[in-house]
Amino acid sequence: MQSRLRVLRAERGWSQQDLAQRLEVSRQSVNAIETGKYDPSLPLAFRIAELFERSIEDIFLSPSRHSSKAI
């Protein structure tokens, strides 16, 4: 699943390690989410959204909507 996590993180000048510490996950988790290799659980997605004070939809792109636009 694609996300805007890398952009939002960069806007705040945080490293992946900084974000990982704030979310209480490993740096590899942040990297995997940013690169779309891993889809976070709903509780983690909420933690990410709350940290950036955005809605989940603002951060994560819906795979169904994204693919339908591509068609």
Partner 1 sequence: MFVAKQSDHTPAQRAHVRRVLWLMLAYAVILPPLIWLRAHRHVSDPLLLAMAIVASLPVLGIFASWGRYLSDERDEYHQATTLRRIAIATNATMGAAVVWGFLQAFGVMPLVEAYWVPFVWVVIQGAFGCVALFARRDPEE
Among 2, 15, 55, 62, binds partner 1 (CB under 8 A): 15
End-to-end alpha-carbon separation of the chain, Å?
Answer: 17
> Least distance from C-beta 27 to partner 1, angstroms?
7
Residue 40 sits in the site that holds partner 1 (CB under 8 A): yes
Q: Which of 11, 10, 37, 9 is nearest to 23 (CA)?
A: 9
How deeply is 53 buried, as exposed, middle or buried, from its count of CB atoms within 10 A (0-12, 13-18, 19+)? exposed
**Binding of partner 1 by 29 (CB under 8 A):** yes
Positions touching partner 1 (CB under 8 A) are 15-17, 24-29, 31-33, 35, 37-38, 40-41, 44
